[in-house]
Structure 1
Amino acid sequence: MAVRTIGGRSRGLLGALAAAAVLLAGCAPMGPTTGTEFGERSVDARTPGRGGSAQVALASEPDLLDPTQSSTLVARQVFASMCEKLYDYDESMTIVPQLATELPQTSPDGRQLTVSVRRDARFADGTPLDAAAVKKSLDRHLQLESSSRTAELASVEEVTVRDPGTVVLSLSQPDASLPSVLADRAGMIMSPQALDRLGEDFGTEPVCVGPFAFVSRAIGDRIVLRRDPNYYAADEIALDEVIYRVMTDSSVRLANLRSRDVVVGDQMAPVDVLSTSGDGELQLFRSPSFGYYGLTVNTRTSGGPAPGAVVDTPLATRPELRTAFALSLDRALINKIAFQDMYAPACGPVPPASAYADPDLVCPGRDLERARRLVAESGLPTPVSVELSIPNTANDLRTGQIIQAMANEAGFDVRLRAMEFTSLLEAGKNGDFEMLLSGWSGRVDPNGNMASFLRSGAPNNYGGYANDEVDAQLAEALTISDVGKRRAAYRALQERLAEDLPIIYLFRPSSLVLASNRLAGLRVYADGLIRLRDAGYAT
């Protein structure tokens, strides 16, 4: 496990921000850039020619290439090219059929969802897609012990095959989020033949329906996909091959873009994006995301998912200290210094673009006086020690240093524990942390940003947060179909979360993808996924 500890007390906020400014000065101008080249854009409408290999630089190593067990955004990037779902999103983030033939039909009581499955599709191994294959994958998502999909599909009691082209999902309660869930990993359908052959090792040789099929993987280096001749629209696919390469440093991804060793760079740092101003060989795909970055607090006071789980820390046992920590932070200043104002401050899991966002909910500003008072009232010796685990990237290190400086002024002694992404993920799953800086790529439906992280026992609830009232509120919100009433339900939830602070939400990133102008037809929507189905080299 690669770990680097940076810490102790900082020399003050101004010194830390000055250091951050020096780091940025050689890369890009300070402050926001208003040039039209950095505006929102999600589609390259040019028609590509046929042939060629596209190399895509990923920001980190994907976890398992298994739709059931995966939990990382970078894995979703690979899935976007090889594992289609029952439903997908279009440019406006409206749900559209993909492996289904039409939008799901909901029964009058909301307790059944009927899905019609296309019959012209084959998996990469030649196995036909049918309703039985859909049921097998959905059952696996629900029942596999190591599944990361259980919270997303919690309302599904049974999956039945009505006929070869129809699947029926019987629900324990109405679930307004379910169509959006089936437009993500929980809706990815895997070859039943490959599942029988590989079992829990499916991720070593994944077989799905998609424009490209899995060929090989070298951990830490690359994942190779090739155009799948079994794909139902194979004649529409321009590229012969897609190679995903792992390049954890954004500046390295940019250097490889400029040298033409890769044609797409994922999750680019704002400072690197700004440095491309006027570069006619690169194009930017930028859109506000539905995700967030935040500080997950390990709230465990007993037990844990692994022997090394951290328990009984001051932040775990004293909610007022979590409040103090949150009040010590200036989200707008973090955004300005670390992200050049290209992101947006956030203090909750529901993005402003959502129909369920409440415009009256605003982020509290920094209140250093109250933060210091709460720390003093805790009765603990000061400074209060906090270990913050962060990804070992330049951007995250910079963010961690700013957080460290701000919280230190309130009476916390923040030590930074910098880790490689895969090690950080493992530490999170095991509860081996006090506070964890992590991001979530986001979902259109608010439940996708909440249940898996906040429901008791949910697979991504790394902090061990457990609150029966929140569990009940999450379940109740799913049963509401009226937009206004559901919005009010999520407002009440967010107000409760603002009291407990199991996650201190910090900012909402923009999706920033740079690509070579040689590549035409690329699409990157607000979900941040790089869609290569229609991409190829410009003629």
Structure 2
Amino acid sequence: MNLRTIRRGGLKRLLLAGAVGLAALSVSALSAQPVKGGAITVATIGEPPTLDPMISTADLVSILTQHVFETLYTFDAKWNLTPLLAEKLPEISPDGLVYTIALRQGIKFHDGSDMDASDVLASLERWTAAASRGTMASRVIAGIDAPDARTVRITLKQPYAPLTALLAMTNSAAVILPKEKIEPVLKEFVGTGPYQLKARVPDQYIQLTRFDGYRQRAGEPDGYGGARKQYADEIRFVPVANANTRAEAAAAGQFDYVDSLPVEAMGKLEGSRSEAVLLKPFGWPRLVLNTKAGIMSNLAARRAVQLALNEEDMLYAAFGNKDFYKLNGDLYPEGYPWATSLGGKVYNQGDAAGAKKLLDEAGIKDRKIRILTSQQYEFHYKMALVAAEYLKAAGFTVDMQVVDWATLTQRRQNPAVWDIFITHSVFLPEPALIDFPSRDAPGWWDTPRRAQVMDAFNQARTQEERVKRWADVQQAVYDEVPFVKVGDFNALAARSPALQGFTPSAWPYFWNAWKAAARP
């Protein structure tokens, strides 16, 4: 299979135009006077499977619900931890076992009730029982209590360096809910955020309106932290499942922001009513393998998949130009402290004969693989098509199951119905925030080797030691193959020139943003 022939010049010029446009927008946003009022419309990749951010790791859920719910901590513009509903970063005992969290006062929920430590305690108890990140943390938590109405205390069984970062994450999130509203399945979506849920019409829109009782932090906006200013009266999220339809809508200026566009949309945006937003570097797609049931529970079969795949062809099929992707088998790119050079030994092999030999030697007779993917993330689907061809060449029989994203996120919870699914993650400042280390996340990687390397990583007390231990985690990933990284990629979105005060980000947020068109 030869997928590498490309005409580069035109798209490179368009990429440059998009980058220049983004810079111009930034200057415009700084110089424009904020305006209150109006509605910001956002086209998303589809209908969210839930509005409960505790029980989902889907980016789509995070993008919507971060406007409604808040966590104790979040990340600033440099990905440093910063307080949100907490008054300050936690006080940690010298032995690393006790986290004392002072809470902000005067915080109200959307139902008008006041937040206190009893709400935080009840929310964290639900998080540790129901959220994949929470259950991961629960294994080292000895207890959570509230010494008084303004304080929550978490006591650990052993030092656990990622705890504060886990409490800050926007998916599988430790959001704070009114204790009276907490149920195994939420019926009311009541948070403390700058916007509240007004209406949800499935497959049509989710309407959020300004919460007038919101108490923002003092100071200026700073990434996801700092002040969250409420300029727009309303934010309306509209599901647009087809990637090409989103591209056409962006070109026509039908929305203020359009998320997750295919590479081909860059040409449509040139000279259109919207401007390109290129997020670089953005993240890494991967094939998650079901280690719990079916053919992928066999290590030899997983190693055969790893050996068979040609990631370069997968990336080219998905993005079509090297300005949008980079070959990299390591879990982090250069520039991050977590980057290594370990992945090259198993990456981008495309060795069908070697993979078939592994299957034969393991005596695997039934070689059917069920690949679960969605066209709503078009690059997922294109990578799946190429992966299927390489796997067939290695002797696998491929059953491609193409579903909408909401169905995929539900179906992947059931280990009996899939063998591989395709997803992606942004590059996160703390590796423990990636969902794969959790043995409760779909894929269910749970081996003695995983436990050993993750425990050593999580208990390391210095950054130097954590970096060293992270290399051990990565080596375990390459040896046991719970997933296969495809590479690094940049993401394309679009926004209207009228949308001001907006900062491009991994999970786009629309507090601090306003519509220039809303001027009287």
Normalising by the smaller structure, the TM-score range is 0.7 to 0.9
In the alignment, what sits opposite 1:304? none
Aligned 8 A contact 2:305 2:355 in 1 = no
In the alignment, what sits opposite 2:223? none
Q: How does 1:10-409 map to 2 (within 5 A)?
A: 13-14=1-2, 17=3, 35=16, 37-38=18-19, 44-45=29-30, 46-144=32-130, 149-185=134-170, 186-195=173-182, 199-202=183-186, 204-233=187-216, 236-279=229-272, 281-289=274-282, 291-300=283-292, 310-311=293-294, 313=295, 315-317=296-298, 319-339=299-319, 340-341=321-322, 342-350=324-332, 352-359=334-341, 361-362=343-344, 364-369=346-351, 371-379=352-360, 384-393=367-376, 394-409=378-393
Aligned pair in 2 of structure 1 residues 78, 455: CA closer, same or farther (>3 Å)? closer
Q: Identify unmatched segments of 5+ residues in structure 2.
A: 217-226
Could you state the TM-score of these two structures normalised by the residue count of structure 2? 0.86
Q: Secondary structure at the match of 1:57?
A: strand
Aligned 8 A contact 1:382 1:412 in 2 = no
Task: Name the CA distance, whole Å, in 2 between partners of 1:335 and 1:190.
Answer: 41
Q: Deviations over 1:239-296 (max 9, x none)?
A: 000111111122212222333332111122222235423546424152323x432112
Task: Name the CA distance, whole Å, in 1 between partners of 2:140 and 2:503.
Answer: 32
Identity %: 20
Aligned pair in 2 of structure 1 residues 367, 32: CA closer, same or farther (>3 Å)? farther
Aligned pair in 2 of structure 1 residues 108, 148: CA closer, same or farther (>3 Å)? closer
Q: Secondary structure at the match of 1:531?
A: coil
- 1:518 alignment partner, one of 498, 501, 506: 498
Q: CA RMSD in A?
A: 3.0
* Structure 1 residue 443 corresponds to structure 2 residue 435: no
Letter in 1 for 2:424: G
Task: Name the CA distance, whole Å, in 1 between partners of 2:63 and 2:330.
Answer: 25
Q: Deviations over 1:307-339 (max 9, x none)?
A: xxx52x2x432x334333223323233223311
Aligned 8 A contact 1:124 1:228 in 2 = yes
Letter in 2 for 1:116: A
Letter in 2 for 1:191: P
Aligned pair in 2 of structure 1 residues 500, 32: CA closer, same or farther (>3 Å)? farther
Aligned 8 A contact 2:100 2:153 in 1 = yes
Letter in 2 for 1:422: A
> Which one is further off, 70-79 or 246-255?
246-255
In the alignment, what sits opposite 1:3? none
Q: Deviations over 1:379-409 (max 9, x none)?
A: 2689954332211344333222222233334
Aligned 8 A contact 1:390 1:437 in 2 = yes
Q: Secondary structure at the match of 1:388?
A: strand
Aligned pair in 2 of structure 1 residues 409, 31: CA closer, same or farther (>3 Å)? farther
Q: Secondary structure at the match of 1:509?
A: strand
Aligned 8 A contact 2:230 2:512 in 1 = yes
Aligned pair in 2 of structure 1 residues 464, 283: CA closer, same or farther (>3 Å)? closer
* Structure 1 residue 430 corresponds to structure 2 residue 417: no
Aligned 8 A contact 2:370 2:401 in 1 = yes
Task: Name the CA distance, whole Å, in 2 between partners of 1:354 and 1:210.
Answer: 31
Q: Deviations over 1:216-252 (max 9, x none)?
A: 2122221111000110149941100011111112221
Aligned pair in 2 of structure 1 residues 171, 273: CA closer, same or farther (>3 Å)? farther
The alignment of Structure 1 onto Structure 2 pairs a total of residues equal to 494
Letter in 2 for 1:495: Q
- 1:530 alignment partner, one of 495, 508, 518: 508
Aligned 8 A contact 1:73 1:441 in 2 = no
Could you state the TM-score of these two structures normalised by the residue count of structure 1? 0.83
**How far 1:124 moved relative to its partner?**
1.0
**How far 1:209 moved relative to its partner?**
0.8
Task: Name the CA distance, whole Å, in 1 between partners of 2:371 and 2:228.
Answer: 50
**How far 1:104 moved relative to its partner?**
1.6
Task: Name the CA distance, whole Å, in 2 between partners of 1:120 and 1:201.
Answer: 28
Aligned pair in 2 of structure 1 residues 381, 158: CA closer, same or farther (>3 Å)? closer
Aligned 8 A contact 1:116 1:165 in 2 = yes
Task: Name the CA distance, whole Å, in 2 between partners of 1:164 and 1:269.
Answer: 49
Aligned pair in 2 of structure 1 residues 52, 447: CA closer, same or farther (>3 Å)? same
Q: Secondary structure at the match of 1:266?
A: strand
In the alignment, what sits opposite 2:400? 416
Aligned 8 A contact 2:253 2:272 in 1 = no
Q: Identify unmatched segments of 5+ residues in structure 1.
A: 1-12, 301-309
Q: Deviations over 1:139-190 (max 9, x none)?
A: 111234x766312454322222233222111112111111111112433211
**How far 1:508 moved relative to its partner?**
3.2
Aligned 8 A contact 1:368 1:410 in 2 = no
Aligned 8 A contact 1:83 1:210 in 2 = yes
Aligned pair in 2 of structure 1 residues 520, 408: CA closer, same or farther (>3 Å)? same
